[in-house]
Amino acid sequence: MTQRVLEWATARLREGESVALASVITSQGSVPGKPGAHMAVTESEVYGTVGGAGLELKVMNHLREILETNEGRIETYQLQKEASGTAGTPLNSLCGGVLTVAMEVIQPMPHILLAGGGHCAQAIADLSAPLGWSVSVLDTRPEYAAEELWPDAEECIASQPEEFLARETTESLARFSHILLLGHDWIIDETLLIGLLERTEGRPRIGCIGSRSKWQAFEKSGLDSGISQETLDTVICPIGVNIGAESPQEIAVAVLAQIIAEVKGVEPASASWRE
For 23-32, the pLDDT digits (tens) are 999 888 766 6
At 89, which amino acid appears? T
Q: How much is the mean pLDDT over the chain? A: 89
CATH 3.40.50.720 domain span(s) along the chain: 111-264
C-alpha to C-alpha distance for 136 and 72, rounded to whole angstroms:
31
pTM: 0.81
- Backbone φ and ψ for 225, nearest 5 degrees, come out as -90, 0
- In the structure, what pLDDT confidence band is assigned to residue 80 with cuts at 50, 70 and 90? low
- In the structure, what pLDDT confidence band is assigned to residue 92 with cuts at 50, 70 and 90? low
C-alpha to C-alpha distance for 219 and 102, rounded to whole angstroms:
46
- Backbone φ and ψ for 29, nearest 5 degrees, come out as 75, -155
**Sign of dihedral through CA atoms 128, 129, 132, 135?**
positive
Distances in Å between the alpha carbon of 180 and those of 32, 121, 151, 191?
Answer: 48, 9, 19, 13
The pLDDT of residue 93: 62
C-alpha to C-alpha distance for 170 and 93, rounded to whole angstroms:
43
Tell me the pairing of strands 134-139 and 156-158.
parallel
- In the structure, what pLDDT confidence band is assigned to residue 14 with cuts at 50, 70 and 90? confident
Helix (H) or strand (E) holding 75: strand 73-79
Is there a cis peptide before residue 90, judged by omega within 30 degrees of 0? no
The 10s digit of each residue's pLDDT in 157-186 is: 999 999 999 999 999 999 999 999 998 999
The pLDDT of residue 269: 55
Nearest to 99 by CA among 78, 117, 73: 78
Tell me the pairing of strands 111-115 and 134-139.
parallel
- What's the average model confidence in pLDDT over 96-108? 88
- Backbone φ and ψ for 96, nearest 5 degrees, come out as 90, 5
**Sign of dihedral through CA atoms 239, 240, 244, 248?**
negative
- What's the average model confidence in pLDDT over 212-234? 94
- Full strand arrangement of the beta sheet holding 73-79: 46-48, 38-41, 19-28, 97-106, 73-79, 89-91
For the domain bounded by 111-264, which CATH number is listed? 3.40.50.720
Give, as one character, the DSSP assignment of residue 7: H
Calculate the CA 246 to chain-centre distance: 28
